[in-house]
Structure 1
Amino acid sequence: MSRTPARPRARAGLRAAIGLVTALGLLGAAACAPGSDSPKPSGGDADRAVQTDAAKLGNVTLTVWDQEVRGGQDEQMKALNEAFHAKYPNITIKRVSRSFDDLGTTLRLALSGNDAPDVVQANNGRADMGKFVQAQQLVALDPWAKAYGWTDRYPDSVLQYSRYSADGKTFGDGNVYGLPQVGEIVGIFYNKDKLTKLGLQPPKTWADLTSGLATAKQGGEIPLQLGNLDKWPALHVFGTIQGQFVPADTVTKLGFGRPGASWTTPENTKAAEELLNWVNAGYFNNSPNGTDYDKAWQNFAAGQGVFLIAGSWLGADLGKAMGDKVGFIAPPPGQDGKVAATGGTGLPFTITSKAKNPDAAAAYINFITSSDAMQTLTRTGNMPVVDTAKQQKPGGVSGDIFTAFGTTTESGRLLPYLDYATPTMGDTMGAALQDLIAKRISPQQFLQKLQDDNAKFLAGNG
């Protein structure tokens, strides 16, 4: 989840992460068809003349939809919006802030209507951004990317999560359709007091983690909190397990929906079996499929659970609730000795095709993703997606997240949110994971559902 979720993200994803989740795909249902009056996308020509002096644009009101609703996420948006208006008093920001799930369910209809917002956060995945691009509901940002130097400041490894071909079929290459603010990584939060009580250390290997789960269960603790009522959170748990058994290149091909990889491999089977082993061992809280995502992390913050596999977007809230009692690590190194973690960027900010003043919208996006904005993000407990190394590393769990993200991006691999794979993979995998966790299907049946979804998409995406 660019989510972000948060992620949403995914965001995401979510991954969000969010992202993150962001990432977040994560939101499910198929996109609404655009109205017959949908305009052609603007901004595809990188040489298009643009106005970068926002003070010369006259009086403008920008309607901005975001999903930065939690603690530090909301704090940074309020601060940046106030600073933007102070610098450009001629531009008024009308902010509409919705939860990750609410944004996803309302955005499709809004973009096809006549009163669409100007700037929106859109989940990177094919089911959202990909469909919006295909429906010509988003503006390609290449002219402003050139004018503002975004492609110089943002590495392509980050921009790939916001690139699509003009027809929306190719993900990871093509025009730039959005800019994210934050980096996301899915890892393992842990309760320091409970580890001490159980005689454990933060796990450095996969064996450490699995033995730690068993020790926690034997000690009368809830080893892992999971709130999978909305289906997408389990994608992050499975993705973390998958990174231990499946080569990173294979996960990347699967995650971006590219040909040449299969879900029904022995390595993916081992990952699905490992998740089922955790279910059979009683490592999750009671009824994870019936527990809300927010309720799960809040329960963890309240001392119910030793570990929580989730995205970095929860760092600010968990740090505020738990203080120095919470820590965060990237998943332990995989079989190749390198860390592989689900992650990427938070939900990118995009310009809709019906934006009345795209130059003002681009100026706003440039402002909230600038180097100064990255300092604001750091100060409010968020992790900047660029200029990360230039920031003063925060203390507590936020510092742990910076370290985990840096380690993964510098010497490991960030793996795409799995719902990115196809426009329907979020629904398919979310439902299949609920069935696997409920022990209604086998690991092999679970993977076959994913393979069927992937094969159907590739057959129609040529």
Structure 2
Amino acid sequence: MASRPSRIRRAPAVVAALLGALLATACTPGSENAAAPPTTDRAVQTDIAALGPVTLTVWDQEVRGGQNEQMERLNAAFQERYPNITIERESRSFDDLATTLRLAITSNDAPDVVQANNGRADMGAFVAAGQLLPLQPWAQVYGWDQRYPESVRQYVSYTPDGKVFGEGEMYGLPQVGEVVGVYYNPAELQRLGIAVPTTWEDFEAALATAKAAGTTPVQLGNVEGWPALHVFGTVQDQLVPAEQVTDLAFGRAGASWTTPENTQAAQKVAEWARAGYFPEGVNGIDDNQAWQAFSRGESPFLIGGTWYAPDLEAAMGQNVRFMPPPPPAGRPVSATGGTGLPFSITSGSDAPDAAAAYLDFITNADAMAVLTETGNLPVADTAAQTPPAGLSADVFAAFAQVAENGELLPYLDYATPTMGDTMGAALQDLIAGEQPPEAFLSTVEADYAAFVDANG
């Protein structure tokens, strides 16, 4: 069973508040205080035994059940392989890590390896400040360029000044993957006489049939604001060219939210809301209430990420399945997704070669098998794993299908450091009918344009 990925995906409003505090003291991308980037011209030592005794300090946030188990197993195996290496692990919750990491990596006793959120407010700021090492020297030796497809590498790549997200050097290696798709209740579909949709057209027809039968088609709780980002993103992924979504989500200059395709996506979400496809009072329902309502059979569908799988499987057993969003006829499968928090090497590490060997060890093919055994969703070699039948197998297959044969598209709140709050609030207004699609997009565009202009 796949556990919620280590990002603990993710209330942008909450995360943005935490990261905003970090940015108040951080060197942001483009800041005049940004340090010179660490050089990528370095000799690499792969004979780890020849390094002598090394203490490797690792900060992670793998604190939940299977997440912690896989780290404990891999750390023990790494130390067994390299007896000269001692791992000192500091494991903190996601929130604790977010609030302490900035100070930790600037101290005189910085950890060697840290998990840093992929987004601009964390990794982007750290890259700009020269606080993380570019991984290219080790990537060439260990073959990380081949381990991760480009659809995954983009999530850990920045230009050395931290301004461009999705391009440039790799600054971290992820272990786990995540993808947003459609959970469905087979028994409820059978009761309603609905076949499992295989195209986007089928899916929309299923929603209409469910509503006509007196059922709320899609569970959604949006009091936090962020759940609707995944609904909008799922609709957008089917109606907007993939390259346009990627440019917007990575905050690239020249892109715009006010295109005809994005307008169509916003109109579709508003149309679903007017048609009663979401629960009444959706903006007053929290996310936990929504997935729990789905687990009780109150709706045939739930749009959300693979992080819900453990709780849903525990509540529903075999009566819950998962699929990537069924694409429009003739289009490849496209879904929002990405990675859990990647592991990075700090510039303050006095043992970068040992740290690189550690990153390689916890992300290699053997590690992916350990992740599977401990209920996690591996970001690499996903198709080669054998998860338990049912929901876990669906989750693995969906991620592999999108990452390897489709379009794995970035989270929309990556676009700017404040986009999670801006878009979450605007979507609440759109769904409530308080803001038309064009005004919703203008609100989002204003945040986006201001950031792009400041980012230079």
Q: Give the TM interval when normalised to the shorter protein.
A: 0.7 to 0.9
Tell me, yes or no, if the aligned pair for 2:4 and 2:308 is still in contact at 8 Å: no
Within a 5 Å distance, the mapping from 1:362-373 to structure 2 comes to: 362-373=356-367
The reply on whether 1:65 has 2:60 as its aligned counterpart is yes
Tell me, yes or no, if the aligned pair for 2:185 and 2:301 is still in contact at 8 Å: yes
2:432 maps to what in 1? Answer: 438
DSSP 3-state at the match of 2:151: helix
Tell me, yes or no, if the aligned pair for 1:127 and 1:424 is still in contact at 8 Å: no
2:247 maps to what in 1? Answer: 253
The one of 184, 187, 208 equivalent to 1:190 is 184
The one of 118, 127, 140 equivalent to 1:146 is 140
Aligned residue pairs total 447
Within a 5 Å distance, the mapping from 1:62-461 to structure 2 comes to: 62-66=57-61, 68-88=62-82, 90-99=85-94, 101=95, 103-108=97-102, 110-112=104-106, 116-334=110-328, 336-392=330-386, 394-461=388-455
Distance change >3 Å, CA 110–CA 302, structure 1 → 2: farther
* Higher mean C-alpha displacement, 112-121 vs 161-170: 112-121
Please report the RMSD computed on the Cα atoms of aligned residues, expressed in angstroms.
3.3
Distance change >3 Å, CA 45–CA 61, structure 1 → 2: closer
Deviation at 1:237, TM superposition (A): 1.0
Q: State the AA in 2 paired with 1:167.
A: D
Q: Equivalents in 2 of 1:143, 1:253: separation in Å?
A: 27
DSSP 3-state at the match of 1:324: coil
Unaligned runs of 5+ in 2: 28-32
Tell me, yes or no, if the aligned pair for 2:35 and 2:129 is still in contact at 8 Å: no
Q: Equivalents in 2 of 1:416, 1:26: separation in Å?
A: 21
Deviation at 1:310, TM superposition (A): 1.3
DSSP 3-state at the match of 2:89: strand
Q: Equivalents in 2 of 1:261, 1:76: separation in Å?
A: 40
Deviation at 1:438, TM superposition (A): 3.3
Deviation at 1:102, TM superposition (A): 5.1
DSSP 3-state at the match of 2:189: helix
Q: Equivalents in 1 of 2:104, 2:222: separation in Å?
A: 27
TM-score by length of 2: 0.86
The one of 39, 45, 52 equivalent to 1:44 is 39
Deviation at 1:162, TM superposition (A): 0.9
The one of 10, 22, 33 equivalent to 2:25 is 33
Tell me, yes or no, if the aligned pair for 2:415 and 2:448 is still in contact at 8 Å: yes
Deviation at 1:267, TM superposition (A): 1.6
Distance change >3 Å, CA 282–CA 310, structure 1 → 2: same
DSSP 3-state at the match of 1:254: helix
Q: Equivalents in 1 of 2:132, 2:289: separation in Å?
A: 34
Q: Equivalents in 2 of 1:29, 1:329: separation in Å?
A: 35
Q: State the AA in 1 paired with 2:25.
A: A
DSSP 3-state at the match of 1:29: helix
Tell me, yes or no, if the aligned pair for 1:54 and 1:359 is still in contact at 8 Å: no
Distance change >3 Å, CA 96–CA 411, structure 1 → 2: closer
TM-score by length of 1: 0.85
Q: Equivalents in 2 of 1:93, 1:41: separation in Å?
A: 29
Tell me, yes or no, if the aligned pair for 1:25 and 1:420 is still in contact at 8 Å: no
Q: State the AA in 2 paired with 1:29.
A: G
Unaligned runs of 5+ in 1: 15-20
Distance change >3 Å, CA 57–CA 230, structure 1 → 2: farther
Tell me, yes or no, if the aligned pair for 1:191 and 1:327 is still in contact at 8 Å: yes
Identity %: 54
Deviation per residue, 1:292-351 (Å, 9 max, x gap): 434533443344432221112333443343221111111111364222111232221112
* Higher mean C-alpha displacement, 311-320 vs 213-222: 213-222
Q: Equivalents in 1 of 2:245, 2:412: separation in Å?
A: 8
Deviation per residue, 1:86-141 (Å, 9 max, x gap): 44454134241314x55445544544556654433222222321122112232222
* Higher mean C-alpha displacement, 322-331 vs 401-410: 401-410
